[in-house]
Structure 1
Amino acid sequence: MTHAALAITLLATSAAAQETYRFTLTTEGQSSSTFTPLSGDLQLWSGTNTQELVEYTAEHPSYVPPKTWTCNSSFVIVRGIPSGEGHCLMENVDGDRSIIATSVTHVSEGRNAGTWYSIGGTGAQEGVQSRGTYYSIYSPASGRIITTVEGQVTLNE
């Protein structure tokens, strides 16, 4: 019984030391990708992109969001169903860096959407836990990409 009481106390203490809030942001940049259709039922997409923050709104105004994003990802489309992953290295204006993992859930011409979650970071990004959704619009002709990200972040206070 003592172990259970100690665990409950530790959980209550750590919950009080953290704050969770919602945010939205928009990034814009350049993308380079390769699309390889093997057949109508099997296609491969892979790409990299570099984007910068252009808009940010959050419930917690003191948090410094990532300013630059460099992402690598690939996915396959099998009989119309996308499956794939990627990773982004992000850096804020103070030089703190973090990594997120992405997973694609929807693909259509010039667009993709999915989910993401944080893996870890340095400085102010250390210990930050976050997750959410993203939606990207991409122009193959110009390479321009715009991504809208929504999610929640838990900060260590």
Structure 2
Amino acid sequence: MEKEFILIQISLHEARTAYYSSLIEENKNNPRFLFSTVARLTKSHSSVETSIPSTLCSNDFMTFFTNKIVAIRNKIHQTLPTNTTELESSVSPQSLLDCSVPIDLAELTSTIMASKPTTCLLDPIPVRLLKDALSYTFLLDIINLSLQTGCTKGL
């Protein structure tokens, strides 16, 4: 009886292996399908939204983003040249944004709303949250300020 059970397990394993091997081979040019299949097989929940613990408060949220901004600023300062001569020689005249035009809310809205709703774990902000934030004018102000003071070096 135990021997039959082991043979059944081996047969199921081989059948499952053959099924998924052919499924992966048939869909080798479909990365979305492959990703979801691997996630399902490995019980990965990275594509599932994370839930926010109820113990967090607005101060925790603010602290998280404040620390994020401080870390970004520190990285920027670490990559900047240490003196003006070095800065002038590292930035060519073509890399400066000397002619940027501020965008209006309609242009910002149409651009962001045209974005795909998918989000990568590396995105600094989920697309859904970005779309929800469109009603806040500070987002438009941040983008326009960036356009007015920005530099394309490194892009």
TM-score tier after normalising by the smaller chain length: under 0.3
Which one has the largest radius of gyration? 2
TM-score, scaled relative to structure 2: 0.23
TM-score, scaled relative to structure 1: 0.22
Structure in which a larger fraction of residues adopt helix: 2
Task: Report 1 or 2 for greater relative contact order, CA contacts < 8 Å, sequence distance ≥ 6.
Answer: 1
